[in-house]
Amino acid sequence: KAGVTQTPRYLIKTRGQQVTLSCSPISGHRSVSWYQQTPGQGLQFLFEYFSETQRNKGNFPGRFSGRQFSNSRSEMNVSTLELGDSALYLCASSLGPQEGDGQYFGPGTRLTVL
């Protein structure tokens, strides 16, 4: 079974621009979560989607948004990029939205904001 895929793997943007990251979950998985990883803040939860609905949201500004499509693929968008948005963005998929479901992570998208 193919794992979680994320595209692109690397991205360089400048301040003020916007970016869209894509995540394809493991086949059969219907829940997708997004995390931001930085050296200073560690791994932080951004949001979770299940059945095209956002079920949970972390403590991030409104510039961070996401969506999920009917095939469970998900995208996240960051508008008006800031230098502090430079991070590894990780997507995770699970069978469903239950807290006990194991989450499987993709390789991440490394975003650099100049």
Partner 1 sequence: AQKVTQAQTEISVVEKEDVTLDCVYETRDTTYYLFWYKQPPSGELVFLIRRNSFDEQNEISGRYSWNFQKSTSSFNFTITASQVVDSAVYFCALSAYNQGGKLIFGQGTELSVKP
Residues that bind partner 1 (CB under 8 A): 31, 33, 35, 42-45, 48, 50, 55-56, 58, 88, 90, 92, 94, 97-108, 110
Residue of 68, 62, 79 whose CA lies nearest to 20: 79
What's the CA gap between 24 and 71, in Å, rounded? 9
- Compute the least distance from the CB of residue 80 to partner 1, in Å: 25
- The torsion angle over the Cα atoms of residues 28, 51, 59 and 17, rounded to 10 degrees, is 90
- Compute the least distance from the CB of residue 17 to partner 1, in Å: 23
- Compute the least distance from the CB of residue 58 to partner 1, in Å: 7
Our CB check for partner 1 shows the closer of 24 and 33 to be: 33
What is residue 111's DSSP assignment?
Answer: E
